[in-house]
Amino acid sequence: MPEEKGKKNLSRRAFMKGATAGSAGVAAMGMLGGAAGILMPSSAQAAPKYQPACPANGEDPEDVRPIPPLAPPAKWDKEADIVVVGSGGGIAAIARAVEAGNKVICLEKMSIVGGTTRHGSAFRCWGSKYQEDAGYHFDKEEVLTKYLEDSTHWSSDPKMNRHMLAKAGEVVTWLAGLGVKWEIVDAMPMYVWAPNPPGHPEWVYCTFRHIFDMLEKRIRKQGGEFLLGTPCTGLVRKNGRIIGVEGTTLDGDKVYVKAKKAVILSAGGMQMNRNMLKKWIPTAYRCVGSVIMSMPSCTGECIRMAQGVGADMDGLDSFFVYDGGVDFREVGGPWFRYIYSGDIQLARQGWLHINQGCERFMQIDMRGDHFHTRGMGIMAQPGGRAYNIFDSNYEKDIWKFKGEMCRLPITPDMPHDMWQKELAPMDWRIAVKDAIKMGAIRKADTLEELAGKLGLDPKKLVAVVKRYNSYADAGKDPEFNKPAFMMMPIRKPPFYGLKQGGGMGATNCGVRVNLDMQVLDADLNIIPGLYATYFTAGGLEGQSNVGGTSLLSCIGAALTSGLVAGDAASKEKRWA
């Protein structure tokens, strides 16, 4: 209806070891992305199909074009004051709006509340009451200026960043008032953490799921409603105002939900839409090997719907990147692979890393700041790819790297309630064997044979391995000063190799918004009735900002923008 016109008991000190104050890597564990029509991916999910990026008529492919708005239906199926699309960062908008006395309905594409943000473990903020009471004080203007100069190079809006910086502390204080037991680690006091319950790895895996379970229960008790497995398929507009949405159920039935005050788009970015990446984030299109830090729901439709009603775009060619983006698509495998999948964890260890020319290119260690810098170093290589080489001792050697956080391999004795079983097996070795069978990890009896399978020069591969082994034997790396404990010699066949690009997290390119998270057109006019949170909204991290540096972290930006949007939308007058 188109509109008419230890391995297991990791201490918090060990968890933080190696992470630096300038790194957003720890907090950014909350970023994850997805594919249309998928409620929950299997570990062997096929790569999403997409149209050729250059149709014969020269126009954008269909899955890139703006989605025009719909005219009001003859009858609304449901009515609310505020409709929220997506329940990741949107959970804060929903909770705040119901607290203010609004009737709120959320359309969620996935089969569970929380989206990508549910899978996070930390929140980066500067000066919450909780931190101040604990004796940690920050000069927010100094933090802001350093971020704008060193990270975004003044390509992001200082007013917006200052606003988000102030509001982030409010989110932490608000959640503490709802019972969240935050903790702070002295080494990085700008991060607040929600520890796992007893019997779980102390800090590592998906600790925010408990916060989301608490918020969902609270929201439902206060009258909020979630339509799970119901993606938004259109915005409804009347007289220039967004007045509701169209959703589509698993059975294909249309559901029209009226929004008497506003619609808030909180459906994540465009990670799983490669055609949109090619147009808006070309570096990701070329250099990302796979999406690892997002859930398979970030397909960009809500961005396109906002564009269909005139929204401008902000944050061009900006995204978060990590190491471990195994190039599964090259062998017909998935574009999405969960960060805790064993093959991704294997790729993120400190093996020998080389480029297409069989040359080493950077120091490879396991520090927290290398979550991002290693990914950037990999993407800078010819073809945007690098290669990991290791031998048959990998099952034993992987523990010698002392991986922390999401690099700590999953083992069967860990609790099985940390994520949905479809995302990754609870034994890292199972996913590795799956990747070997798939061909994403190559296996060979000789280095020369391995080189052939990887498309490398056999003589060059043998030479670099021989040189690397000599460094391992000597316990000293004269090229990159790699720590001696990470220098694993490569001698015992069979030999293994994998090809990886960047591991993609959130996309920071989305619709332009103001300080209240209202969506703006190219003339900076407000589009009435429409709001968006990060990372359906874009621009917070600036333009052409590739990496992981973030003022708030992905979780912080998502939840803070959700709180701001929920509070602002609650103040709108009902149009009907």
What SS3 string covers 80-101? EEEEEECCCCHHHHHHHHHHCC
Query: Residue 58: phi, psi to the nearest 5?
Result: 80, 0
**Would 79-316+511-570 and 319-504 be classified into the same CATH topology?**
no
- In angstroms, the CA 191 to CA 443 distance is 41
| pLDDT at residue 351, as a whole number | 96
What SS3 string covers 57-87? CCCCCCCCCCCCCECCCCCCCEEEEEEEECC
Label the pairing between strands 288-291 and 495-507: parallel
Tokens at residue 506, please? Answer: 């959130």
Residue 280 has pLDDT above 90, yes or no: yes
Residue 42 has pLDDT above 50, yes or no: no
- In angstroms, the CA 86 to CA 108 distance is 5
Contact 236, 69 (CB under 8 A): yes
Label the pairing between strands 183-184 and 191-193: antiparallel
Contact 559, 114 (CB under 8 A): no
For residues 509-521, average pLDDT: 98
Residue 386 has pLDDT above 80, yes or no: yes
Residue 40 has pLDDT above 70, yes or no: no
Which DSSP string do the residues of 126-145 spell out, in sequence order? S--HHHHHTT----HHHHHH
Nearest to 314 by CA among 93, 155, 166, 164: 155
Contact 244, 258 (CB under 8 A): yes
487 or 129, greater pLDDT = 487
Crossing angle (nearest 10°) for helices 553-570 and 158-177: 90
The domain ranges of the chain are: 79-316+511-570, 319-504
Residue 534 has pLDDT above 70, yes or no: yes
Tokens at residue 160, please? Answer: 């917006």
Residue 405 has pLDDT above 80, yes or no: no
- Average pLDDT of the residues of the chain: 86
Among 199-208, 232-241, 380-389, whose mean pLDDT is lowest? 199-208
553 or 396, greater pLDDT = 396
Cα 35–chain centre separation: 13
| pLDDT at residue 517, as a whole number | 98
For residues 404-426, average pLDDT: 80
Rg (CA), the chain: 23
| pTM for the full predicted model | 0.88
Residue 146 has pLDDT above 80, yes or no: yes
For residues 124-136, average pLDDT: 82
Label the pairing between strands 183-184 and 104-108: unpaired
205 or 25, greater pLDDT = 205
- In angstroms, the CA 565 to CA 239 distance is 23
Residue 28 has pLDDT above 70, yes or no: no
**Considering Cα of 406, then 412, then 415, then 418, what sign does the dihedral take?**
positive
Among 129-143, 439-453, 534-548, whose mean pLDDT is lowest? 129-143
What percent of the chain shows pLDDT beyond 90? 64
Nearest to 236 by CA among 221, 246, 225, 226: 246
Q: How confident is the model at residue 548 (pLDDT cuts 50, 70, 90)?
A: low
Label the pairing between strands 104-108 and 225-228: parallel
Residue 201 has pLDDT above 90, yes or no: no
| pLDDT at residue 361, as a whole number | 96
Name every residue whose Cβ is closer than 8 Å to that of residue 29 and which is 6 or more positions away in sequence: 119, 120, 121, 122, 293, 339, 405, 406
| pLDDT at residue 559, as a whole number | 95
- Architecture category of domain 79-316+511-570 in CATH: 3-Layer(bba) Sandwich (3.50)
Whether domain 319-504 has CATH 3.90.700.10: yes
Q: How confident is the model at residue 416 (pLDDT cuts 50, 70, 90)?
A: low
Residue 38 has pLDDT above 70, yes or no: no
What percent of the chain shows pLDDT beyond 70? 85
Residue 43 has pLDDT above 50, yes or no: no
- In angstroms, the CA 305 to CA 267 distance is 11
For residues 452-470, average pLDDT: 98
| pLDDT at residue 136, as a whole number | 85
Residue 29 has pLDDT above 90, yes or no: no
Which DSSP string do the residues of 454-522 spell out, in sequence order? HT--HHHHHHHHHHHHHHHHHT--TTT---GGG-----SSSEEEEEEEEEEEEE--EE-B-TT-EEEBT
Query: Residue 434: phi, psi to the nearest 5?
Result: -60, -45
How do residues 303-323 score in pLDDT, each as one tens digit? 999 999 999 999 999 999 989
Q: Which residue type, as a one-letter code, is found at position 398?
A: I
Residue 346 has pLDDT above 50, yes or no: yes
Contact 388, 401 (CB under 8 A): no
